[in-house]
Every structure is written in structure tokens, then in C-alpha cells.
């Protein structure tokens, strides 16, 4: 790490929302020289820019604006659309964090001579003699966002400050903003997918980006045709509602085959499995897809989706380089495209994309 970087300076991702605003207030209170950085992922989001700039002005910190639309388009949006079109269910935040958000934060920090970067994520960081620099779970299990940060390399985590790490709930962040008379203290939370407008669903968004969506067959696990589906992008593993087909009993999406353009329907018990295979893995210790030797065959806690509870499992590398996770108990609806994330105690050690 460049020793010339100033450890009192920090570049903070400032969205204009209450979380990043409160993070800035807390850092400033500790005597840090904070600069707010707004990422424009849509090339012309004047409303978002004005909100972030107004927050920076109220806090009394410098403000930077960066148009990252093309980078975001080429990485996050293209991946999002192509994954859905292939019958997978991506998590764009997981993809964005290492390829856009934290990449730009570190570049701007280097340019400004700042050692630290910061965000309003609910998570912690820690240095461990065995694991190196890792992301840790937040104090609040309900608010914890460590899952979203598993693809960050150690050299980024070392520089990362997460001021909301110990907060038990969002109301604490709002209260700090209120105490500082911030105009956005009671602003509602942003929508789930930041680049899709509130009045547009993700299927229409994908179609608008030039992807052709074809109807196909609903089938059962024996391959018998049950009816017609309206295109793979409209479904995800575990889905029960909105199928457009009835059987007099609950049925669930249990598999999708993009090559055959089929959606398999089955019973609830068909969704459960002890084994999950992932590819595109990343481990912060190695900064690559290579699993550290200390994790080979190790007992870990693993999450198969953001909202899932971590569950005990064992992980090992298959001969083809993919990672096999064997859970102690069956997990429901492991979904291709989503991430499986591995923890030792409360430290994130790696993860990958579910196959």
C-alpha cells in the first residue's frame, strides 16, 4: 500500500440517501476529512445528483460527481440482462460492488491522496492473522449486508470504513440524521434495483434492452408437457405465484433449461437439496477463484441468498474447479445466478455463483 496516502482522508460513496449521509456525519464527527462521491449509473440522473450534492452541502463536505454509465452498462446491466435471458437470477449489487462501486472509490481515493474509502453498508471489516483482511457480518443480523461484499479483494477491504457497522436498525441512522437536521432523514428507502424505474418491471426492462423473449413449455420432472410459459425471464426457482397455470394444488418452479426453453414445475419438496455447486468463485485471501488451502474441506457457514440464514456446511473443490458445498440440512431453492457466500465465524471468506 502506498504509504504516502493520507489516513485522515476518506472518499465516501454518497447516494443522497440516509445511510450514506449518516456514514458521512459519523466520519466527520471522528475528525476524518470526508469527500462525498456520487456515482451516476444512468448518465443524466439529475435528481439523484442534486440529492447527493445537497446532502454534501448540508454536511459541509466536498462533493465529487462521476458519470459511470458506460462502465455500469458494459458490466452490470449487460450481465443482468444476459443472465435473466439464460434462465438465471442475478444479483446486480454483488456484481456492481467490485467492478464499479469500489473500483471507482479506490481510483478516486488514490487520485485524492486518501487512504480510506467508505460506504453506508451495514457490515464490518477486520484483520485476522490467519485470514488477512475480511468483511465481517454487521452487528445486526437483520440489516447485515456482508453477503453483498464477498467479492471485494483484501487490498480494498483494508482501506474500507463502514461507519454503520454496529447499528442494530435503520432508525438509528435516521435519528442521527435528524439530530443533524438533515433534509433526507426520513427519505424512503430506494427501490430494490437502482437502475430500474419504479414504474417499470425488470422483464420489460430486459426486453427494452433488445433481448428477445420466447414462449416455451412447462414440463414436469418426467418431461411431460403441462402447458406454455411466457419466457424464462418471468420465472425464478421456488416461484409459486404468477405462473398462469393451475393444477388444483400448489406447484413451484423447480428448474429452468435455457437450451430447451423449458420451465420445470414440481412439488415443494422438490426444491430442497443438501448439495450446491458454484462457479465463478472468489476468495479474498487469494484474490482469485483459487480456494485457500485452509478452506479445502473446511466446515463453514454458508448462505445461498441475501435473506437466507447462514447454515453449517462443508466446502471442497471439484476436479473441474467448481466448488461443491454440502449442507448439514437441505436448503430450499438454491437458485442459479444467485451467490452462495461462505463464512468462518462471522468473517466472509469467499463465495461463488450458484450453478
Contacts of 27-32 spanning 24+ positions with Cβ under 8 A: 27/118, 27/161, 27/163, 28/59, 28/60, 28/61, 32/8, 32/116, 32/161
SS3 state of residue 59 = helix
Query: In residues, how long is the chain?
Result: 355
Q: Are 184 and 55 in contact (CB under 8 A)?
A: yes
**Is 96 an active-site residue?**
yes
- Distance CA(47)–CA(27), nearest Å, equals 25
3-state helix, strand, coil in the chain (%, to 5): 30, 30, 40
**20 assigned to a ligand binding site:** yes
**195 assigned to a ligand binding site:** no
**39 assigned to a ligand binding site:** yes
Cell numbers linked to 32? 476524518
**18 assigned to a ligand binding site:** yes
Tell me the C-alpha to C-alpha distance, in Å, between residue 353 and each of 233, 264, 278, 322, 326: 18, 21, 5, 10, 15
SS3 state of residue 339 = strand
Out of 81, 96, 278, 347, the active site residue is: 96
**198 assigned to a ligand binding site:** no
**Is 81 an active-site residue?**
no
**44 assigned to a ligand binding site:** no
Calculate helix-pair angle for 18-29, 170-179, nearest 10 degrees: 60
**14 assigned to a ligand binding site:** yes
**217 assigned to a ligand binding site:** no
**113 assigned to a ligand binding site:** no
Out of 194, 278, 290, 347, the active site residue is: 194
**257 assigned to a ligand binding site:** no
Locate all alpha helices (DSSP H) within 166-304, ordered by sequence.
Answer: 170-179, 202-208
Phi, psi of 268 (to 5 degrees): -60, -40
Tell me the binding residues: 13-20, 39, 120
Question: Annotated catalytic sites, by residue?
Answer: 96, 194
Tell me the binding residues for ATP: 13-20, 39, 120
Amino acid at each position: 500500500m502506498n504509504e504516502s496516502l493520507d489516513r485522515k482522508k476518506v472518499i465516501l460513496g454518497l447516494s443522497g440517501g440516509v445511510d450514506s449521509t449518516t456514514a458521512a456525519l459519523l466520519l466527520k464527527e471522528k475528525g476524518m476529512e470526508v469527500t462525498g462521491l456520487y456515482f451516476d449509473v444512468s448518465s443524466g440522473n439529475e435528481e439523484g445528483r442534486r440529492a447527493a450534492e445537497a446532502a454534501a452541502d448540508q454536511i459541509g463536505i466536498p462533493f465529487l460527481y462521476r458519470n459511470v454509465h458506460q462502465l455500469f452498462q458494459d458490466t452490470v446491466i449487460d450481465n443482468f440482462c444476459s443472465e435473466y435471458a439464460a434462465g438465471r437470477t442475478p444479483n446486480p449489487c454483488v456484481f456492481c460492488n467490485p467492478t464499479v462501486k469500489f473500483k471507482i472509490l479506490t481510483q478516486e481515493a488514490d487520485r485524492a491522496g486518501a487512504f480510506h474509502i467508505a460506504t453506508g453498508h451495514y457490515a464490518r471489516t477486520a484483520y485476522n492473522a490467519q485470514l488477512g483482511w475480511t468483511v465481517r457480518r454487521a452487528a445486526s443480523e437483520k440489516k447485515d449486508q456482508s453477503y453483498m461484499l464477498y467479492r471485494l479483494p483484501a487490498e480494498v477491504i483494508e482501506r474500507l470504513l463502514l461507519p454503520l457497522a454496529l447499528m442494530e436498525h435503520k432508525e438509528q441512522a435516521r435519528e442521527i440524521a435528524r439530530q443533524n437536521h438533515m433534509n433526507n432523514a426520513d427519505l424512503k428507502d430506494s427501490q430494490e434495483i437502482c437502475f430500474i424505474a419504479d414504474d417499470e418491471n425488470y422483464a420489460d426492462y430486459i426486453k427494452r434492452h433488445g433481448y428477445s423473449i420466447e414462449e416455451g413449455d412447462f414440463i414436469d420432472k418426467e418431461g411431460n408437457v403441462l402447458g406454455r410459459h411466457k419466457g424464462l425471464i418471468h420465472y425464478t426457482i421456488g416461484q409459486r405465484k404468477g405462473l398462469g397455470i393451475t393444477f388444483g394444488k400448489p406447484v413451484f418452479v423447480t428448474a429452468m433449461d435455457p437450451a430447451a426453453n423449458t420451465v420445470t414445475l414440481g412439488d415443494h419438496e422438490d426444491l430442497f437439496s443438501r448439495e450446491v455447486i458454484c462457479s465463478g468463485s472468489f476468495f479474498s485471501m487469494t484474490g482469485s477463484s483459487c480456494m485457500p488451502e485452509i478452506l479445502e474441506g473446511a466446515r463453514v457457514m454458508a448462505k445461498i441468498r441475501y435473506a437466507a440464514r447462514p447454515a453449517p456446511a462443508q466446502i471442497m473443490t471439484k476436479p473441474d474447479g467448481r466448488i461443491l458445498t454440502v449442507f448439514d440440512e437441505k436448503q430450499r431453492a438454491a437458485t442459479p445466478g444467485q451467490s452462495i457466500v461462505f463464512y468462518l465465524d462471522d468473517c466472509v471468506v469467499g463465495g461463488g455463483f450458484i450453478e
